[in-house]
Structure formats: structure tokens, C-alpha cells
Amino acid sequence: MAAILSSLLAGSVLLSGSVNAQNFGSNGPVEDAFSYVQPLNTTILTEYGSSPPVYPSPNITGVGGWEAALEKARAWVAQLTTEEKADMVTGQAGPCVGNIVAIPRLNFSGLCLQDGPLAIRVADFASVFAAGVSTGASWDKDLMYERGLAMGREFKAKGAHVALGPVAGPLGRSAYAGRNWEGFSSDPYLSGVAMEKTITGHQDAGVQACAKHWVGNEQEIQRNPVYDPNVTTVKTSNAISSNIDDRTMHELYMWPFANAVKAKAASFMCSYQRINGSYGCQNSASQNGLLKTELGFQGYVMSDWGATHTGVAAIEAGLDMNMPGGLGPYGLNFGVPSFFGGNITIAVNNGSLDTSRVDDMVIRIMTPYFWLNQDQNFPSIDPSSADLNTFSPRRTWTRNFTLTGERSRDVRSNHAELIRRHGAAGSVLLKNKNGTLPLKAPRNIAVFGNDAGEPTQSSVLNQNNYEFGTLFAGGGSGTGQFSYFVTPLQALQSRARQDGGLVHYWLNNTLIANSNVSTLLIPRGQPDVCIVMLKTWAEEADDRPHLSSDWDGDAVVESVASYCANTVVVTHSSGVNTLPWSDHPNVTAILAAHFPGEESGNSLVDLLYGDVNPSGHLPYTIAMNGTDYNAPPTTAINTTGFDDWQSWFDEKLEIDYRYFDAKNITVRYEFGFGLSYTTFNMSNLEVSPLANNITSFPENLPIQPGGNPALWESIYNASVSVSNTGSVAGAAVAQLYVGLPSSAPAGTPPRQLRGFEKLHLEPGETQTAAFELMRRDLSYWDIISQQWVIPEGEFTIYVGFSSRDLVVHDTVTVVG
Ligand SMILES: *[C@@H]1O[C@H](CO)[C@@H](O)[C@H](O)[C@H]1NC(C)=O
Ligand SMILES: *[C@@H]1O[C@H](CO)[C@@H](O)[C@H](O)[C@H]1NC(C)=O
Ligand SMILES: *[C@@H]1O[C@H](CO)[C@@H](O)[C@H](O)[C@H]1NC(C)=O
Ligand SMILES: *[C@@H]1O[C@H](CO)[C@@H](O)[C@H](O)[C@H]1NC(C)=O
Ligand SMILES: *[C@@H]1O[C@H](CO)[C@@H](O)[C@H](O)[C@H]1NC(C)=O
Ligand SMILES: *[C@@H]1O[C@H](CO)[C@@H](O)[C@H](O)[C@H]1NC(C)=O
Ligand SMILES: *[C@@H]1O[C@H](CO)[C@@H](O)[C@H](O)[C@H]1NC(C)=O
Ligand SMILES: *[C@@H]1O[C@H](CO)[C@@H](O)[C@H](O)[C@H]1NC(C)=O
Ligand SMILES: *[C@@H]1O[C@H](CO)[C@@H](O)[C@H](O)[C@H]1NC(C)=O
Ligand SMILES: *[C@@H]1O[C@H](CO)[C@@H](O)[C@H](O)[C@H]1NC(C)=O
Ligand SMILES: *[C@@H]1O[C@H](CO)[C@@H](O)[C@H](O)[C@H]1NC(C)=O
Ligand SMILES: *[C@@H]1O[C@H](CO)[C@@H](O)[C@H](O)[C@H]1NC(C)=O
């Protein structure tokens, strides 16, 4: 969701902190709610940078298992007045971050929508889970589901019908984008599996998932239009336009969202920025065309908070629910005035909007509600949420909300235990010289860096990049409120005490970077280990200014390593960090611990001391140098033209490892890389077709959620044997990459991830990793036929332990 949260969390005014002021216009765009913004243009779907009209908006059919719920929803909606229908699709200020009002005469108690992707944010006595990037780094399907289920249970117990997550947009086109950490990986396949598992987990708990932000939301700067500060109704420039060609749209940015639809996500959130020139929430090509027609999405599309810029035009283009309801872009005007609300009643009554479209909007909203049995004994909204909700505090409410039920419910259950495991599983061991780790009961431990200790200002974190205190998560609407947390320093101290050790620490980066560290240490003896804790902040509404660690972290490492021969560096980070000191001989170990959530310190100590064997792998690439990355966010447009903010995705499919591999660029740590305390071996790759009549084109089957079901049929099996050749138990991740034949169109990446399996292996144990390759996995998107096509010629199937440690491979000819 939106926007302002990083400042609103603290109940402070807008425009605070480091947030890019450019993103914040005042309220009140003027656009004609009753006319199409897009001129009719017959340009074909494939034209780069254009967004053709795709109308009308398809009706829900209930296909794929929602048929019975659809019948209930239809019968229910038939009882509504036009005013009630308008209410059902228009948010109001209320106790939750998004609210649909109750209709008491039908025993409907309304809908409560809450942030976000790693916690129910507006809540007390709730858990803060590992972030998306940590979850992606685990490469563990069971963990992804377990986390989704546990989160879903907390949302439900707090009375939230809809969890505003998970995130596949941004995907991670640019290493700098401020919200990459909310999602899982810059690889669409890994992200897609994580989407599917998370959504299934949320919805198995009885909570609706919301896949966001659809689509191409790959940077924060200028994600919204800008308004004249003096005349707030005058828009001075449009939001950035993500200009994405058709093939790239399908193979990268849509891909994980297809998994989300396949998993029957109840809702999607359309994005702030424009897509090929047209605003995300009024883009008929993306909503009516790609999402509701091609992918067969049966749920509802809600706007990001304030991303609705028209009424009827957006509705005809496929938008089903306006959030938070009032005029954007940063609508603290909630219900009135609205592009929806009363305007829908007017439009229906004067004939500019067909009742059948409004009915479809409401039916799409109510079908997943009935499918998940949310009409039966759903918990009430915890009254404490209303007080914690700085987004729409009580004084802004214009409608009635009756809050009943137990206040400040503790919904945390035993989740601390699994968060501790997840934090460790999402940490990646990048270097471990001479078996430095695991630590062997060191007696004298020196800890350095402002990421080690307690946040000194407040436990209500994540309003900004605070200097002192460890990072558990990033900022903005995707963060959480901590009921407690365990810092690295607390956990290290308590572990050292058990071992009869001691811990000295220095937390001021400026001091460490500018000191001769030996003068700090000598009186205390040469430490057995120096642990340097670095952090890298990222937040919604702001892209990262650089890829280094914050607070002069690189200088802190150099300073410590120049004296300490056993320097272990740990990063808490939103994702990519350049690590220029990685080859320093005294830097003996590096652990990328990402954003592990509330049990951070325990997750870390479990790894450092070997109670848990590291098994995370990078869900992105660490280049030799920040300048090696292509596809930076489009920034610093300093012309004043209305439409000057354009982001041309000219690198096409070549993001992250697809780019580095295509250009044969040496990287520091490649996509998929990660060390263990044990060693693994791999052998016996077997690849076999599941049919002998595989055709290039998929059979044209009726669309199901996820698109043509033929795309999801397994057509090849592959397997490898993986052995633990070391002396401790550990988990290996077997990664399968596909190289398409040379007959595939130009621009096809050399290799793309198309399977992964995590195996837990005792010393000496061997297990088989089995992969099922679906038709989609072996196809490219053909812009001419508008189909997924399996190319003719020789495919190479590689399996290994990273994108550049490809241990075994085989070639197969799939068609012809
Ligand atoms: C349709 O859009 C394309 C690309 O923006 C443009 O070149 C063309 O002139 C438009 N056609 C019409 C009929 O407006
Ligand atoms: C949706 O269903 C309604 C009522 O059955 C029908 O009138 C309308 O034409 C349908 N719309 C589409 C796009 O099929
Ligand atoms: C807004 O008004 C102030 C004071 O009159 C002026 O200095 C400023 O340039 C105006 N801003 C714009 C964007 O017109
Ligand atoms: C309808 O939308 C317009 C903006 O186009 C707004 O000014 C007006 O207040 C809205 N009406 C209602 C009833 O919300
Ligand atoms: C709220 O409910 C009360 C009593 O049920 C009613 O009198 C009042 O008009 C309602 N207010 C609004 C804004 O609906
Ligand atoms: C690492 O191991 C090598 C070979 O055993 C040894 O020469 C070297 O001193 C060790 N380095 C450290 C830092 O322990
Ligand atoms: C951190 O160290 C620097 C350099 O010694 C000093 O100027 C600064 O005041 C210190 N910060 C705090 C919060 O003590
Ligand atoms: C590594 O640490 C030792 C002190 O233990 C120091 O003498 C040496 O200069 C350091 N190496 C580098 C490259 O800084
Ligand atoms: C990174 O690249 C820039 C520009 O090419 C160069 O100036 C800088 O020295 C490089 N840094 C490293 C660590 O290689
Ligand atoms: C912005 O303006 C400066 C100086 O006029 C120019 O050098 C720079 O290239 C411009 N940046 C962009 C993105 O146009
Ligand atoms: C890639 O680069 C390496 C080292 O720079 C070189 O040995 C190799 O031949 C290159 N491969 C290709 C395909 O260019
Ligand atoms: C391919 O063969 C399988 C049996 O091996 C059969 O079920 C299927 O219908 C065939 N598909 C086509 C497209 O001929």
C-alpha cells in the first residue's frame, strides 16, 4: 500500500525525513472522471511503449473452484441497492488501513484490509516475520508456505479479512529500488514460487491475499504524479511510465503474478506508476487484458492507496475497488469526495456506467469472501488496531464502525520459534575462510558497528534510517510493529556468557572508522573474533542512493580488519550490497543476514555458533562494483515537460544474472550462491519427457486461473542425486537452469532458473532432487502469435548449486 506511512506511523506530518518530496503532491488531482483517458487506438498489443484499449472488462465466471462461492456472491449482490454497491467498492476512513463499511441488514460486517507483506502492521501483540528478501533467500518452499500460513493466522485473529501482500512488483529490475526487499527475488521463477506458497498459506488460514503491485512498479521516485504546491488541483507532471515490451512483460514482470493467479489470490493491487503510458489502475491492457483475460484472474483489483485518478474510466479499465476511497494521490480525504462512492451512483443513474459492471465489481469482491467462509464466525476487528491506525485516525472517520471483541489480542502463538528459524534460513554465508565459522566457544569477542545494538530512540522503528540500532526490517507500509525484539548484541552476550566468554563492543561507526582500532583493543587483548555488524536501509517512496552499506560501513570493515585477523562481517540489508573488502585477507567470513524479523539476534547466533547450518542462497547477484549493474531507476529528470518521466526497460530480459551471464561479466557473488558448514556433491542428472508428442504450441484449453492450463502441465521430469560429503548435517539447494535452443528469438538469456529443491541431508546421506518442468518453463513468449512457444532445437538443462556452479548438464530436444 501506500505512501505516507513511513511518516504516518509516527503520527507526524507528511514530507518528513528522507522521503523524496518529489513523490508527494497535495491532494486533489483534476481529471475528468467521466471520460476515457486513453484515446481509442488500434495499435497492436506488442507495440513498445503503448497501451492499447482492451474493453469491456471481463465478468467473473468462478472457473477453477469458485463456482459455488460465486453463486452465493451473486445472490447476495442481487439484494443490494446502488448506494450499497457503491459502498462495497469504495474505501472509507475506519479502523483498518483499508475499510469497506458494513451492511447490517444483510449481516455483512464489512471488510478490514491491513498491511502488509511481513506482519500485520497496524497491530499490537503481533509478530514481525522475516522479510520477503529473507524468504526468497531461503529457497525453501515449505518455509514459504509455513510463513504465509502463520502470518495469515495472525491477520485473521486480529479481524483482518485481507492481508496486503505478498509482493512481486517490484521484482527487482534495479538493485537500487526502495521496495525490492518486500518481494522475494529479482528472478521471476523464484519469486513466482514464493508468491504461490505465500498466497496458499495466507488463504489456508482464511485470509484473502493481495498480490501487489501489478505491474512494472520497479522504482519509487516519481511513482506518483506531482501537483502544483500552490494550486493543488493542477498536476504539473505525470508519474513515471514503465515502458515494457510485450515479451519482457510476459517473461519477467507478469511471470510471478501468473503464479499468484494460479494460487487463486483473492485480490490484486494495481500500481502507482504508469504502464506503457497509462496509469496502472486505469490501464485496460494490463487489467482487462493481461490479468482478467489472459491470466483468467477471478478476484478483484484494488487500487494502491491514492492510485485511482479517474472514476468510470478506471472502472471500465478493470479497477474493482478504490482505496483508501477518497481522491488521491495521498488521500487523507477518505470517503468524500471520491472518484467512486457517490460518483458511481450518479454514473449508474445517468447511464454512463452499466449496472452489470458494478455488479461484477462487487461479485468479484464477495466471491473470495464466501469461498474462504469469511461470512462464518470471522473474528471482529481488534479495537486496539483502530487506535494504532495513524493512517485513518478516528477523527477522520465519517462512517460508523462498531468495534467489539477482546482488545489487544495476543495473536503471536508460537511464531517466535519459526521466525527464529526463518531468519537463519534467509541468511547467506558468502565467505568462510579456513572454517572460521562456526565459532568454537570464543572467549574474547569484540563487536563493532551501529547495527549490533538496541535502537536507541524508540522501539517503534522504521520511520527513517536511524543511526544507532540494528535493522530487523525496512520502512514504509511493508514494515511491522515490534512487540519485542532480540538484537545481535543481546543474543551474542547471552551466548558468550554460557560459554564463559566476554563481549566488548563499539557501536559508533564514525568513531570506529576514524580510529586506530588497535588502540581500542590492545588493553583488552587480541580478540578471538571481531564481529562487524553493518546495515543498509531501504523504504517505500525512496530508492536507495547507493549500494554500499550505510553509515560508512565499508570504512568500518577496513578499520577493524586492519588490526583484527579474524574479522567476521554480518550485513542486515534490503538486498544488494557491494562488498569491496570481500577479498581482504583478514575478513574471514561474511554473512548476508538480510531482514530477519523480530528474532534477528537469535537467528544470527544460531548460525554463528553452528546450531543451525547456513543454507540460504542469494536471490540476486552481487556485482564486483555498483557501476556494473544495468537498469538503474530513472532519476533526476530535470526537464519540466508533463510526460518527461519515462523509464524504458530497454535491457528487456537482461536483468540481474540474465544480464551478467549474457555479457559474461565477472561478479563477486553470483545469483544462487551460498555456502554451508558442510560440502555437497551432485551427480546422475536424468531428464525425461512425459509424453512423446510435445508440440511447440500449447493446446488451446479454456482459460483457468493462471492462464491456459496447458502452460502449467508438466512435460519433462528431471532429477539429480545430491550427497552430503561433509561431516555435519546441512541443507543443499539444487537449482535447475534451462538454456533455450539457439532458435529462440534474440535476447533470450543464456540460462534461466526453472526449478529448485532444498534437501536436508545428514552427513553421508544422498537424496534425489526431482524437478517437474512445465510447458511454460520451456517456452518463450512469442509476440506474433501471442502464445508461449517451445522453440525447436537443443535445450540444455543444467543443475548446480548456484547460477555459476553448474555441476551437471544434459541436452534434450523437446519438439520436432
Ligand atoms: C496509436 O498509438 C501509436 C503509438 O503511440 C501512435 O503512433 C499512433 O499514431 C496512434 N494511432 C492513432 C490512430 O491515434
Ligand atoms: C457481464 O454479465 C452481464 C450480466 O450477465 C452482461 O450483461 C454483460 O454483458 C457481461 N459483460 C461481459 C463483458 O461479458
Ligand atoms: C508557489 O508560490 C510561491 C510563492 O508565491 C512561488 O515562489 C513558487 O514558485 C510557486 N510554485 C510554483 C510551482 O508555481
Ligand atoms: C466525484 O468526483 C469528482 C472528481 O472528478 C469530485 O470532485 C466529486 O466530489 C466526486 N463526487 C462525490 C460524490 O464524491
Ligand atoms: C451512526 O449510528 C448511529 C446510531 O446507530 C446513527 O444515529 C448515526 O446516524 C450513524 N452515523 C452515521 C454517520 O452513519
Ligand atoms: C588458513 O589455513 C591455512 C592452511 O591451513 C593456514 O596457512 C592459514 O594460516 C590459515 N589462516 C587463518 C587466518 O587461520
Ligand atoms: C560518534 O563518534 C564521533 C567521532 O568520535 C563523535 O563525533 C560523535 O559525537 C559520536 N556519536 C555519539 C552519538 O556519541
Ligand atoms: C591483518 O591483521 C594483522 C593483525 O593481526 C595485521 O598485522 C595485518 O596488517 C592485517 N592485514 C591487513 C591486510 O590489513
Ligand atoms: C567501480 O567503478 C567505478 C567506475 O568505473 C570506478 O571508478 C571504481 O574504481 C570501481 N570500484 C571498484 C571497487 O572497482
Ligand atoms: C539535468 O541537467 C543537467 C545540467 O543541465 C544535465 O547535465 C543532466 O544530464 C540532466 N539530467 C537529465 C537526466 O536529463
Ligand atoms: C567469459 O569470460 C571469461 C573470463 O573473462 C573468459 O575466459 C571466457 O572465454 C568468456 N566466455 C565467453 C563466452 O565470452
Ligand atoms: C499426447 O499423448 C498423450 C498420451 O501419451 C495423449 O493423452 C495426449 O492427448 C496427446 N496429445 C496430443 C496433443 O496429441
Cα–Cα distance between 170 and 805 in angstroms, integer?
27
Q: How many CA atoms lie within 13 A of 147 on its CB side?
A: 35
Which ligand places an atom closest to the C-alpha of 713?
Answer: 12
Q: Answer whether residue 255 shows pLDDT above 80.
A: yes
| 239 alpha carbon – ligand 1 mean position (Å) | 21
- Annotated catalytic residue within 304, 359, 543, 777: 304
Is 750 a pocket residue for ligand 4 (Cβ < 6 Å)?
Answer: no
Instruction: Please work out whether the CB of residue 59 comes within 6 Å of at least one atom of ligand 2.
Output: yes
Measured in angstroms, how far is the CA atom of residue 122 from the centroid of ligand 10?
41
Q: Model's pTM, two decimal places? A: 0.93
Mean pLDDT, range 774-799, rounded to an integer: 96
The answer on pLDDT for 392 being more than 60 is yes
Residue 621: per-residue pLDDT:
98
CA atoms of 241 and 222, how far apart (whole Å) = 9
| Helices vs strands, H then E, count in the chain | 20, 29
Ligand closest in space to the Cα of 530:
8
Tell me the average pLDDT of the chain.
92
CA-CA-CA-CA dihedral for 170, 171, 173, 174, to nearest 10? 60
pLDDT of 4 reads: 34
Q: Is the pLDDT at 8 greater than 60, yes or no?
A: no
**pLDDT, tens digit, 9 for 90 and up, residues 691-700:** 989 999 999 9
Higher pLDDT, 385 or 12: 385
Mutate to test the pocket of ligand 4, among 235, 310, 312, 339 (most ligand atoms within 8 A of CB): 339
Tell me, using a 6 A CB cutoff, whether residue 683 lines ligand 1.
no
Q: Is the CB of 636 under 6 A from ligand 10?
A: yes
CB 690 near ligand 12, within 6 Å: no
Ligand 3 atom with least separation from CA of 236: 13
Output the pLDDT for position 35.
27
In the prediction, which pLDDT does 37 show?
A: 31
pLDDT at 784: 87
- pLDDT at position 25 is 24
Mean pLDDT of 304-318: 95
With the most atoms of ligand 5 within 8 angstroms of its CB, the residue from 103, 105, 397, 400 to mutate is 400
What is the Å distance from ligand 3's center to 145 Cα? 52
Is it the case that residue 38 has pLDDT exceeding 50?
no
| Sheet with strand 766-774: strands edge to edge | 680-689, 714-724, 766-774
> Would strands 502-506 and 444-448 be described as parallel, antiparallel, or unpaired?
parallel
| Residue 345 CA, closest ligand 4 atom number | 13
Q: What is the pLDDT of residue 29?
A: 28
Q: What is the pLDDT of residue 5?
A: 32
Does residue 519's CB lie within 6 angstroms of at least one atom of ligand 3? no
> Over the stretch 148-184, which tens digit does the pLDDT of each residue have?
999 999 999 999 999 999 999 999 999 999 999 999 9
816 pLDDT band, cuts 50/70/90, is: confident
* Predicted pLDDT at 13: 22
DSSP state, residue 61: -
Query: Could you tell me if the CB of 508 is within 6 A of ligand 7?
Result: yes
- For ligand 9, atom 10, the nearest C-alpha belongs to 625
Task: State pLDDT tens for residues 367-377.
Answer: 999 999 999 99
Average of per-residue pLDDT across 127-147: 98
Active site annotation includes 611: no
For ligand 8, atom 11, the nearest C-alpha belongs to 562
Going by alpha carbons, the residue nearest to atom 7 of ligand 3 is 230
| pLDDT tens, residue by residue, 122-136 | 999 999 999 999 999
In the predicted model, what is the mean pLDDT of residues 191-201? 99
Higher pLDDT, 105 or 457: 105
Question: What confidence tens digit (pLDDT) does each residue in 748-759 have?
Answer: 999 999 999 999
What are the pLDDT digits (tens) for 662-697? Answer: 999 999 999 999 999 999 999 999 999 999 899 999
Q: Whose CA is nearest to atom 11 of ligand 2?
A: 59
The set of residues, in sequence order, having a beta carbon less than 8 Å from that of 484 and lying 6+ positions away, is: 598
In what order do the strands lie in the sheet containing 805-813? 752-761, 730-739, 794-802, 805-813
pLDDT at 44: 42
**What's the average model confidence in pLDDT over 595-610?**
98
CA-closest candidate to residue 162, choices 111, 200, 125: 111
